[in-house]
Amino acid sequence: MNLPLNIPALSPASPQFINLYTDAVPGQAPGPVQELSEGLMAAAASVSPKYFYNALGSKLFEAITALSEYYPTRTEAGIFGASHAQIAQTLADRGIHHPCLIDLGAGNCAKAMALIPHLQPRQYVPVDISADFLKEAAEQVQSRFPALDIVGLGMDFSAGLALPDEVQAHDRVFFYPGSSLGNFHPEQALQFLQHMADPAQGRARGLLLGIDLVKDTATLEAAYDDSLGVTAAFNKNLLLNVNQLLQSDFDVRQWRHVALFNAAQSRIEMHLEAMHALSVRWPGHTRRFEAGERIHTESSYKYTLGGMTALLKQAGFRQVRHWSDPQNWFAVFWAAV
């Protein structure tokens, strides 16, 4: 990749990596332990979807993206494939030529690897809660783009987007693909977007956002309850991660994967259902579950083009445009600050 002269020829071959997450060990910081205990002890038990992403969970999600039923990843990739040049031109028209690209929930960084040759960022900042998985992925990106300045961040950004000084302040562009914003309830999504749109906080020039659109229930439910059972494994693996973090004694064989589309709320809901009455124990706690009782593990909100455009404007973004696939199953939004 031939970079302009003012970009240093070779940055160090290995990415910088800052881990702002795993330090929150159980029992010290009121981190995972307190959050998980409160969620599980609630009358309507729930666990945040961020706990899907331990090392195995990140790999299972990678497998999900290869499933025939799970259309979001390839549909989004198709949109980027068809619109790379327009997207790069849209940023250039706003004077953004070599952005600092901040990739939220980067995972294996595959989406950014496809985008980097077109946007030619001068710094790439992949951010993910699955720190070890991300570290490996960032090294892959570095070996593909040896001259690129990379700063990997192990971080739970759902709790706030305070970025360290190693992240360049100039021409920041947030990249939030894959419809991960869908995990936030709409009012939380608005707050998260407001943070990015606020020059004082996000200090960004804009956001490239991937959003899954509302469609027929059968297609949606198949995408979250695939015939191979990979999504079921992804969902149940959360209990193994909870056992790791909470020293609890969940037995995954006692739980059934449930995925349903709640049309009234325009969201996919994933739950784990107790197959018979049982108790789960962890230090200081015992939680009884009746047969059929559920733990809510994920909401994945589905938007309309108009609905997301309005939300981005409400959040403070000034220029909003989108690209979508011919069936309007998925959309990529550019929202400028």
Site residues for ligand AVJ per CB under 6 A: 64, 72, 178-180, 182-183, 224, 231, 298, 300
Distances (CA, A) of 330 to 75, 177, 209: 7, 11, 11
Is the Cβ of residue 72 or residue 99 nearer to ligand AVJ in the bound state?
72
Q: How far is the CB of 302 from ligand AVJ (least distance, A)?
A: 10
Least Cβ distance, residue 246 to ligand AVJ (angstroms): 21
The nearer residue to ligand AVJ, 96 or 332, going by C-beta atoms, is 332
Rounded Cα gap, residues 177 and 209, in angstroms? 5
- Decide whether 224 or 282 has the Cβ nearer to ligand AVJ: 224
Nearest residue to 224 (alpha-carbon basis) of 263, 180, 178, 271: 271
Residue with the closest Cβ to ligand AVJ? 300
User: By the 8 A CB rule, do 101 and 123 touch?
Assistant: yes
Cβ closer to ligand AVJ: 179 or 309?
A: 179
DSSP state of 2: -
Distance of closest approach, residue 179 Cβ to ligand AVJ, in angstroms: 5
Angle (CA) 71 75 79, round 5° = 170
Closest contact distance (angstroms) between CB of 260 and ligand AVJ is 12
Backbone dihedral angles phi then psi of residue 180, each to the nearest 5 degrees = -70, -20
Q: Which residues pair with 225 in a beta bridge?
A: none
CA distance 231 to 23: 29
Identity of residue 20: L
According to DSSP H, which parts of 125-229 are helical?
131-144, 186-197, 217-224
Radius of gyration of the chain (CA): 20
Q: Which is nearer to ligand AVJ, 72 or 152 (CB)?
A: 72
Tokens at 328, concatenated:
């309007």
**Based on CB atoms, which residue is closest to ligand AVJ, 154 or 182?**
182
For residue 126, count other CB atoms closer than 10 A to its CB: 27
- Closest separation between CB of residue 296 and ligand AVJ, Å? 13
Provide, rounded to whole angstroms, the least separation between the CB of residue 259 and ligand AVJ: 7
**Least distance CB 210 / ligand AVJ (angstroms):** 8
Q: Are the beta carbons of 27 and 284 closer than 8 angstroms?
A: no
Intra-chain end-to-end CA distance of the chain, in Å: 29
C-beta closer to ligand AVJ: residue 63 or 278: 63
